[in-house]
């Protein structure tokens, strides 16, 4: 049924596939899956082959590494090489090309760059090496932000003077609003991201559905989760609805995680922010509040960098749903996972990476 992997329940997958085809008929629809993890699953399990050709899936801007601006990488490299800070980062970010160097290349030139699995590892390291400045690279959407907030709170409680966070944290709803308002890509419905929505709740999309008359369904990351979400969304689209539905209720609620929301509110404030390829979007990012300003790497260090995007990379258009990876002339030739040119080829949540590995 699919070209590469078996489903846990192939009979249910077949039923959902047939049900989606029956619902949409011949009508053309375009669905954006927002999350990079969902994109990965769609390519890996060849879900497009299970859908009618008139139902188009386009990848969205929900891969954290992909939307992190190139100047962020340049700042991290600067802090490591010029300020002698030890950089603690999630591994995905290591290979993202900066204007001159990636963090991996900076490491080869002597920078101290340590991959971690949790922000709290940076806290432990800062305690262990009080003579060194530790900088945690805090990127991501609302999913990862509570962990970063906790790191900052705990650093303040411990009165640590040698730890800071270089923050590039984004908010999903304003980014979706920018895509809808911009209108570059046809989007008839969204499969919204499961983990982000577990934090912010489906309530975060109520106004978008109403104001832009577009349906949204939150979906998980397993292939059956996604087929279920696409089925529910198809029904909404065919009916001309603007429902904000939940196909991932084992994890997501309407209210979201109130404790995590309170933590975000305490440590961060909303700001206009740039996403790679998408430009500055109103209210799309977070800044560290003044009360925790001591832990903001941008306040602690004077950072001087000059950045420019790699020639020929069309990550921005891919993240908007306007183009697909195969439209990029560098795809699979100059740009591969072993030698990435843009950020969308680095992380396994990036559309170019997933298309290279599974298409």
- Interface residues toward ligand SF4, by CB under 6 A: 313-315, 318, 325, 328, 330-331, 335, 341-342, 344-345, 352
Q: Is the Cβ of residue 95 or residue 195 nearer to ligand SF4 in the bound state? A: 95
The DSSP symbol for 202 reads G
Q: Is the Cβ of residue 189 or residue 321 nearer to ligand SF4 in the bound state? A: 321
Residue nearest to ligand SF4 (CB): 342
Report in angstroms how near the CB of residue 92 gets to ligand SF4 at its nearest.
Answer: 14
The DSSP symbol for 250 reads T
Q: Is the Cβ of residue 223 or residue 316 nearer to ligand SF4 in the bound state? A: 316
Report in angstroms how near the CB of residue 315 gets to ligand SF4 at its nearest.
Answer: 4
Tokens standing for residue 74: 């340049």
Tokens standing for residue 139: 């990127």
HEC secondary structure over 1-69 = CCCCCCCCCHHHHHHHHHHHHHHHCCCCEEEEEEEHHHHHHHHHCCHHHHCCCCEEEEEEEECHHHHCC
Tokens standing for residue 252: 């997501």
At residue 337, the 3 state secondary structure works out as coil
Report in angstroms how near the CB of residue 233 gets to ligand SF4 at its nearest.
Answer: 27
Report in angstroms how near the CB of residue 314 gets to ligand SF4 at its nearest.
Answer: 4
Q: How many CB atoms lie within 10 A of CB 224?
A: 17
Q: Is the Cβ of residue 110 or residue 333 nearer to ligand SF4 in the bound state? A: 333
Q: Is the Cβ of residue 65 or residue 288 nearer to ligand SF4 in the bound state? A: 65
CA 45 vs CA 15, 37, 176, 281, 337: distances in Å: 16, 12, 25, 33, 19
- Token pair 């060849």 in the structure block, residue: 46
Report in angstroms how near the CB of residue 322 gets to ligand SF4 at its nearest.
Answer: 12
Report in angstroms how near the CB of residue 31 gets to ligand SF4 at its nearest.
Answer: 21
Q: Is the Cβ of residue 274 or residue 352 nearer to ligand SF4 in the bound state? A: 352
């Amino acid at each position: 049924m699919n070209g590469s992997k078996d489903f846990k329940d192939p009979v249910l997958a077949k039923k959902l596939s047939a049900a989606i085809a029956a619902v949409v008929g011949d009508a053309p629809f375009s669905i954006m899956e927002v999350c990079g993890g969902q994109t990965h699953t769609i390519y890996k399990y060849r879900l497009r082959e299970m859908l009618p050709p008139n139902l188009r899936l386009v990848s969205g801007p929900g891969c954290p590494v992909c939307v992190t601006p190139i100047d962020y990488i340049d700042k991290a490299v600067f802090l490591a090489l010029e300020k002698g800070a030890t950089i603690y980062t999630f591994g995905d970010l290591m290979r993202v090309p900066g204007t001159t160097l990636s963090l991996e290349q900076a490491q080869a030139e002597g920078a101290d760059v340590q991959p971690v699995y949790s922000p709290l590892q940076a806290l432990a390291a800062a305690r262990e090496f009080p003579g060194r400045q530790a900088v945690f690279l805090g990127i991501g959407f609302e999913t990862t932000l509570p962990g970063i907030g906790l790191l900052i709170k705990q650093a303040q409680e411990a009165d640590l003077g040698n730890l800071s966070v270089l923050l590039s944290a984004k908010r999903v709803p304003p980014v979706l609003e920018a895509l809808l308002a911009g209108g570059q890509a046809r989007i008839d419905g969204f499969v919204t991201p499961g983990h982000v929505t577990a934090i912010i709740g489906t309530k975060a999309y109520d106004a978008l559905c109403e104001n832009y008359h577009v349906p949204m369904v939150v979906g998980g990351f397993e292939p059956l989760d996604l087929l279920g979400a696409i089925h529910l969304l198809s029904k909404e689209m065919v009916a001309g609805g603007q429902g904000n539905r939940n196909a991932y209720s084992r994890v997501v609620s309407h209210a979201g995680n109130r404790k995590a929301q309170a933590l975000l509110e305490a440590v961060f404030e909303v700001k206009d922010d740039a996403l790679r390829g998408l430009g500055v979007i109103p209210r799309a990012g977070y800044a560290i509040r003044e009360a925790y300003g001591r832990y903001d790497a941008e306040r602690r260090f004077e950072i001087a960098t000059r950045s420019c995007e790699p020639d020929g990379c069309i990550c921005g258009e891919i993240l908007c749903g306007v183009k697909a990876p195969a439209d990029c002339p560098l795809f699979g030739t100059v740009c591969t996972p072993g030698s990435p040119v843009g950020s969308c080829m680095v992380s396994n949540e990036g559309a170019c990476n997933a298309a290279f590995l599974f298409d």
